[in-house]
Amino acid sequence: MKKIVRTAALVFLVGSVGYYLWYGLGDRGRSNYGIDALSWVGPQMIWPIVAVSVVVVCFALTGDSVLAAFTGRNSAAFRQGAVGIGTVRSVRQTGMTLNDQPEVRIDLGVEGADGETFESHARMIVPLTELALFRPGVVLPVRYLPGRTDKVEIDRSGDTSTAQDALNRSMIRQGLTTPGKLDIAARGVPAQAVVQSLSVPGEIRNGNSKVELGLAVTRRDGTTFTTRVEKFLPPRSVGHVQVGRVVTVHYLPGNEREVVIALPANV
């Protein structure tokens, strides 16, 4: 659709300029009115001016970020693209707005579906109230085209399972979790736990600090049990596991020693 609209606008521009040249070079203004200047200055100028305006508007409104804002979907080229995990490096406004909402360029470090990493960027229209959400360090699912990694799009499919699967694979590759822990998170019983102790051994893995937590977990029947958990967390998340904090955990009733803490990716 985008190509059709842009091609039609360009054809209109070429036809309008061609008509203007045909009118001027043929001295048709002079022969009709007896005034030489009218060969180039007159009503025939309207069409090229209108055509230039139409081209500018069509190209602006069919930009990928604008179409995505209107439709709430990724562009056709990226709709079936591979899903990767993007970490925001920087965000800046491009100067274009749509209904007073700015377009931003988001520079990202991306980890692809097969573990390959690359630097890229995405453009999107972001409401002013949501600009603060796109801060450096935030993790986002992205769609990309293998072999054309200079540009990506923030995933708008709403397919949370695919995005979560991509994030899980990334965390396993980085050594931040294991398939066994992911299985507990998927099948385990959700519960609330209170952080009773917190220690930081000093081990760092891919920018994430290792923490050792002592937890008091409350079962569904109101009884409690204690356990210890080791987890790698980004620095911004350590504040969410301080002593006294209540956190959500998952565990398998038959193995209460293995407990998995559930924290959002961008807390």
Q: What are the tens digits of pLDDT across the range 42-96?
A: 677 777 787 777 766 665 555 555 555 556 678 888 888 999 999 999 999 988 8
pLDDT at 170: 87
Q: Angle between the 179-187 and 160-173 helix axes, to the nearest 10 degrees? A: 150
175-262 is classed in which CATH architecture? Answer: Beta Barrel (2.40)
What per-residue confidence (pLDDT) applies to 215?
Answer: 95
Contacts for 6 with CB less than 8 Å, ≥ 6 apart? 58, 59, 62
The mean of the pLDDT values for the chain is 83
Classify domain 75-164 at the CATH topology level: OB fold (Dihydrolipoamide Acetyltransferase, E2P) (2.40.50)
Long-range contacts of 33-38 (CB under 8 A, 24+ apart): none
How much is the pTM?
0.66
pLDDT digits (tens, 9 = 90+) for 115-155: 899 999 999 888 888 888 888 888 899 999 988 889 999 99
Dump pLDDT digits (tens) for 177-209.
889 998 998 899 999 999 999 998 888 888 888
pLDDT on residue 30? 55
Q: Which residues pair with 106 in a beta bridge?
A: 91, 122
Alpha carbon of 178 to those of 48, 172, 207, 247: distances in Å? 63, 6, 18, 20
Indicate whether 7 pLDDT > 80: no
Residues across the chain? 267
Counting other chains too, the contacts that 217-225 makes at CB distance below 8 Å and 24 or more residues apart are 217/191, 217/192, 217/193, 217/249, 217/251, 217/256, 217/259, 218/191, 218/192, 218/193, 219/191, 220/189, 220/191, 225/256
pLDDT number for residue 33: 52
| pLDDT exceeds 90 at position 171 | no
Residue 2's pLDDT is 63
Tokens 């209540």 correspond to 246
The pLDDT > 90 percentage for the chain reads 32
Residue 161 or residue 5, greater confidence: 161
Between vectors from CA 75 to CA 54 and to CA 82, what angle results, nearest 5°? 155
pLDDT at residue 1 above 90?
no
Q: In angstroms, rounded to a whole number, what is the distance separating the alpha carbons of residues 123 and 131?
A: 13
The pLDDT tens digits for 207-240 are: 888 999 999 999 988 999 999 999 988 888 888 8
List the structure tokens of 52.
């230039």
